[in-house]
Homo-oligomer: A and B are copies of this chain.
């Protein structure tokens, strides 16, 4: 059986796991009629939003597909469509599981904490395995079709396979930036809006059924934190594994077992799906109530099992660990070297998770310092939160730099690619931990609205607090891997450049002013993108505030429980706002590289200057984006948990002045961590992929 076939089978195993576990989750009790009614409203809102989002994205997608078809041919266009559609499917499934698991988790939490945890985590695991499985199937299946059915080969001068894989990644990235941003704007506009009028002005608790924005807030968890996140991680997986294959095809053109090397990243992805599935069964509370510990147990089992699994995969694919893969090259390496690089990827993943937990967990200095700063008011809370945001970039940067150096010393650029691939191989498990969060968040909301016993809400709150950290962890992980993957894409860019334009001397030295200009313009992109995302949330949240105020004013019965607020009106308003706001920022990374290439080439009167600036822009967007993404996601998580820490009875507890200040910090952190920050990850990749496609298009015409 070929390596690709094995990978496809392992991808199908993930899908089968998803289907099997779905029946378990859906078989659980969906609670009483009131709960089901609320859940139905959330479900309806989420579906309505996703339908409208996908319709809009489809229009952009069709136009871009046509451009890809024109510039690079139908095979690339097919790759683009596969990537785009499956990215959408990943988000759609994530949302659909989540909106059904929420109410069942609330029901299960009536029985006990373990039951709630099991149900919510299973729901997360379904999304996780489907994301990893579909991503693997997309690449492996398309690659299998191109090489086995259509008969294209790699290793020669034919670019069909490489271009197809890049186009596939582009499709995934383009959809995911829309999904991340649209979902992110929706969820945070609803959340911020609901909090501002509900908690701050009207003085009613979170998730109070009298708040007209409460259903929109819960819908947001599903379309943003769940569907958006799933599309994002699908993209990250496809781009990372795809980029590793592309780099293999470009750098190892003439080596003996090129076919096995092309399939190896797929196989690593495949075996880690198995270890991820095994890991999910270890997520259970021990004697205590340490929910985070239960999560880590599962992750640790997956990570530890992945070590021998990857070792086996490499040995099996290459027929041994010690054979030199690229004899005669300046830097020779073996299967064992690639294993070390993969192991390094697992270590980086572990370190980033650990650092992120330190910066966002309630047990450590950062969150406690924000909580303490809340005592002296709104201003000092925000100042300390911003300081922590900036500080949180330090250790991840150092880890990534260490990873780059070690991987490069082991096996050059291929080493970096394998480190990134191994990081992403754990995506199934990481997404499982993340997708669990919005389910418990929703469960808490449903428990509150359905008037369940306070003990239920306490359990869902305990589950949700952990969700804040796991959500931050996924984002740190995604952006960390993006840092490595983008370097791989940059390497593909420079290699392609030499292949397509062999006579052009492109000077990538820092002494070239066009390189400096490219770096600056690249670093500008995430700043501008972040600004657009934040503004969009602020604007949409302002609309929500006005709508809620209006409902309270014109329908005084709401506050006395005599009449019900018009939930659907608010959902509809947020939907429209989010869709409208997501378009322009999403197109920024698509159009900027093209503009920079043409403008600089024109100004300098020299194509080489244009390519140099474009290349530097790709690195600039990583250098700038890494800091913005990490600071926003970690800082936002820290703010959120500082509020939770105060609500747990510190610094005066709920209702104190410190708590009010912490609510402000949480509000500021919302678009940071759930809109602008995470969307930087697909943004970085899109910029890089567009540059690769531009190169291919320029060479073809």
A524-B397 CB under 8 A given contacts A519-B519, A623-B620 = yes
Q: Cα distance A409–B663 when bound, in Å?
A: 52
Distance (whole angstroms) from the CB of A369 to the closest CB of chain B: 8
Decide if A537 is an interface residue (CB 8 Å cutoff): yes
Q: Are A516 and B404 in contact (CB under 8 A)?
A: yes
Per-residue contact bits, chain A 602-637, to B (CB 8 Å; 1 contact, 0 not): 011000000000011001100110110001000000
Q: Cα distance A386–B390 when bound, in Å?
A: 14
Q: Cα distance A218–B195 when bound, in Å?
A: 37
Q: Cα distance A391–B623 when bound, in Å?
A: 18
Per-residue contact bits, chain A 536-556, to B (CB 8 Å; 1 contact, 0 not): 011001100100000000000
Name A residues whose Cβ lies closer than 8 Å to a Cβ of B.
192, 195-196, 200-201, 369, 373, 375-380, 382-384, 386-391, 393-394, 397-398, 400-401, 404-405, 408-409, 416, 487, 490-491, 494, 508-511, 513-517, 519-521, 523-524, 527-528, 530-532, 534-535, 537-538, 541-542, 545, 600, 603-604, 615-616, 619-620, 623-624, 626-627, 631, 663-664, 666-668, 671-672
The residue of chain B having its C-beta at the shortest distance from the C-beta of A546 within the complex is B376
Given contacts A380-B545, A393-B527, 7 further A-B pairs with CB under 8 A are: A196-B379, A200-B377, A376-B545, A384-B538, A397-B520, A401-B521, A510-B615
A382-B380 CB under 8 A given contacts A405-B513, A516-B404, A517-B401 = no
Question: Which residues from B are CB-within-8-Å of A487?
Answer: 513, 516
Q: Are A619 and B510 in contact (CB under 8 A)?
A: yes
Contact of A491 among B397, B511, B664, B668 (CB under 8 A): B511
Question: Which residues from B are CB-within-8-Å of A494?
Answer: 510-511
Q: Are A624 and B523 in contact (CB under 8 A)?
A: yes
* 4 shortest interchain CB distances as A-B pairs: A379-B667, A390-B531, A387-B534, A391-B531
Q: Are B538 and A390 in contact (CB under 8 A)?
A: no
Q: Cα distance A401–B192 when bound, in Å?
A: 37
Distance (whole angstroms) from the CB of A154 to the closest CB of chain B: 23
Question: Which residues from B are CB-within-8-Å of A416?
Answer: 513
A387-B535 CB under 8 A given contacts A394-B524, A400-B520 = yes
Question: Which residues from B are CB-within-8-Å of A391?
Answer: 527-528, 531-532, 535
A510-B616 CB under 8 A given contacts A376-B545, A390-B531, A623-B523 = yes
Question: Which residues from B are CB-within-8-Å of A668?
Answer: 379, 382-383, 386
Q: Are A513 and B404 in contact (CB under 8 A)?
A: yes
Please name 12 pairs of A and B residues whose Cβ atoms are closer than 8 Å in the assembled complex, sorted by A. Answer: A192-B383, A380-B541, A382-B664, A383-B534, A386-B672, A390-B531, A391-B528, A391-B535, A394-B527, A398-B521, A487-B516, A624-B627
Q: Are B405 and A604 in contact (CB under 8 A)?
A: yes
Most buried by B among A400, A615, A623: A623
The residue of chain B having its C-beta at the shortest distance from the C-beta of A626 within the complex is B520
Q: Are B527 and A390 in contact (CB under 8 A)?
A: yes
Q: Are B379 and A664 in contact (CB under 8 A)?
A: yes
Q: Are A531 and B388 in contact (CB under 8 A)?
A: yes
Distance (whole angstroms) from the CB of A378 to the closest CB of chain B: 4
Most buried by B among A369, A397, A538, A604: A538
Question: Which residues from B are CB-within-8-Å of A671?
Answer: 383
Question: Which residues from B are CB-within-8-Å of A624?
Answer: 523, 623-624, 627
Q: Cα distance A542–B369 when bound, in Å?
A: 12
Question: Which residues from B are CB-within-8-Å of A513?
Answer: 404-405, 408, 416, 487
Q: Cα distance A195–B379 when bound, in Å?
A: 10
Contact of A376 among B196, B517, B623 (CB under 8 A): B196
Question: Which residues from B are CB-within-8-Å of A538?
Answer: 373, 380, 383-384, 387
Contact of A379 among B192, B514, B520 (CB under 8 A): B192
Question: Which residues from B are CB-within-8-Å of A405?
Answer: 513-514, 517, 600, 603-604
Distance (whole angstroms) from the CB of A623 to the closest CB of chain B: 5
